[in-house]
Amino acid sequence: MTRIPVYSPELGSEESELVLECLRSGAISGSGGSFLDRFEMAWAGYCGRRHGVAVSNGSAALDLAIDCLDLPAGSEILLPSFTIISCLTAVLRAGATPVLVDSDPATGCLDVSQLERRLTARTRAILVVHIYGHPVDMDPVLALAERHGLAVIEDAAEAHGAEYLTGHATGRGDWKRCGSFGAVSTFSFYANKPVTTGEGGMVLTDDAELAARLRSRRNLGFGRGRRFLHEELGWNFRLTNLQAAIGLAQVGRIDRIVQRKREIAARYSERLRHLEGLQLPIEAAWARSVFWMYAVVLRDEVPFDAAELAARLERAGIETRPYFLGMHEQPALLERGLFVGERYPVAERLARRGLYLPSGLNLEETEIDRVAAALDAELR
Ligand X SMILES: Cc1ncc(COP(=O)(O)O)c(C=O)c1O
Residues that bind ligand X (CB under 6 A): 57-59, 83-84, 86, 129, 155, 157-158, 188, 190, 201
Cβ 64 to ligand X shortest distance, Å: 12
Nearer to ligand X, 90 or 249 (CB): 90
Nearer to ligand X, 75 or 185 (CB): 185
Asked whether 122 and 74 are in contact (CB, 8 A), the reply is yes
Nearer to ligand X, 86 or 103 (CB): 86
Helix intervals (H) in 125-282: 138-148, 208-218, 241-251, 254-272
Helix (H, G, I), strand (E, B) or coil at 101: strand
Question: 241 vs 34, 200, 222, 276, CA distance in Å?
Answer: 7, 11, 19, 48
Cβ 195 to ligand X shortest distance, Å: 12
**In this structure, are strands 174-177 and 97-101 parallel, antiparallel, or unpaired?**
unpaired
Cβ 280 to ligand X shortest distance, Å: 20
Angle formed by the axes of helices 58-68 and 85-93, nearest 10°: 30
Residue with the CB atom nearest ligand X in the bound state: 58
Nearer to ligand X, 75 or 83 (CB): 83
Helices (H) and strands (E) in the chain, counts: 12, 14
Asked whether 188 and 43 are in contact (CB, 8 A), the reply is no
Q: Torsions phi, psi of 236, nearest 5? A: -95, 95
Nearer to ligand X, 76 or 155 (CB): 155
Nearer to ligand X, 139 or 158 (CB): 158
Cβ 84 to ligand X shortest distance, Å: 4
**Max intra-chain CA distance, the chain:** 69
Q: Give residue 160's Cα distance to chain centre.
A: 8
Torsion of CA 298, 302, 308, 312, to 10 degrees: -90
Strand partners, 110: 103
Q: Which of 114, 115, 69, 117 is nearest to 95 (CA)?
A: 69
Cβ 56 to ligand X shortest distance, Å: 8
Cβ 34 to ligand X shortest distance, Å: 24
- Fill in the amino acid letter for 86: S
Nearer to ligand X, 158 or 372 (CB): 158
**What's the CA gap between 332 and 50, in Å, rounded?**
37
Cβ 306 to ligand X shortest distance, Å: 18
Cβ 193 to ligand X shortest distance, Å: 7
Nearer to ligand X, 81 or 188 (CB): 188
Strand partners, 164: 176, 287
Nearer to ligand X, 136 or 374 (CB): 136
**Neighbour count for residue 87 (Cβ, 10 Å):** 26
Cβ 243 to ligand X shortest distance, Å: 12
